[in-house]
Chains A and B, each alone.
Chain A
């Protein structure tokens, strides 16, 4: 059974810091991995999607890497801003289209 774990559960940092959020999964047989952002009272917004054949994806200040063999992914946020405060969720997709989510990392960036 696929299980997804995210560390840390919560993180509070001053503005400007570079951050690394971690995601690990138990079964390396995945189709892709996706990082989402969730703001309070809102749905999930897709940030980055990495196919199983890829090593990383970049969008602006965000960079996500994938090491499928070791069951790990990291989300790197450069020069963090207060607007980055949210919960970040990673999800893996096995051969079916079901998304299996981690428990999330709650990030707070203070000025």
Chain B
């Protein structure tokens, strides 16, 4: 079974530029998560989708971050404009469904450096 795929793996941009990350979840997984992991910290949930609907985006900086999951499969996370403090690893995870009994499976992440 293929795991969660993410691209690109690395991205370097200058502040005020825009960037987009892509995630392909495990086939059949209805729930998709985006996490931000700043160096030295644990991952923090940015947004959770159930199929193509948003379940939780309470910690998403909506003035600069946006995410979509068209057709309930792949997802993109965009930052526009980027700030220095956005430098982090962005992790995508998926699970069969919502609810605490469903295990989340993580992709390799995209490491973003903002100069």
Q: For residue B4, which residues in chain A have a CB less than 8 angstroms away from its CB?
A: 43
Inter-chain CA distance A97–B33, complex, in Å, is 10
Closest to B108 in A: A43
B-chain residues with CB within 8 Å of residue A42 when the two chains form the complex: 108-109
**Do A97 and B42 touch across chains, with their CB atoms under 8 A apart?**
no
A104 lies within 8 A of B42 (CB) = yes
- Interface size (B, Cβ < 8 Å)? 28
Instruction: State whether A97 and B100 are in contact (beta carbons under 8 Å apart), knowing that A43-B91, A104-B42 are contacts in the complex.
Output: yes
Count A interface residues, CB 8 Å.
24
Q: Which residues of A contact B107 (CB under 8 A)?
A: 43
Complexed CA–CA distance, A85 and B48 (Å): 31
B98's partner among A41, A97, A102 (CB-CB below 8 A) is: A97
Which residues of B lie under 8 Å from residue A98 when comparing CB positions?
A: 45, 48, 56
Interface readout for A71-104 with B: 1 if CB under 8 Å, 0 if not?
0000000000000000001010111111101111
Interchain residue pairs A-B with the least CB separation, the first 3? A101-B42, A43-B106, A31-B100
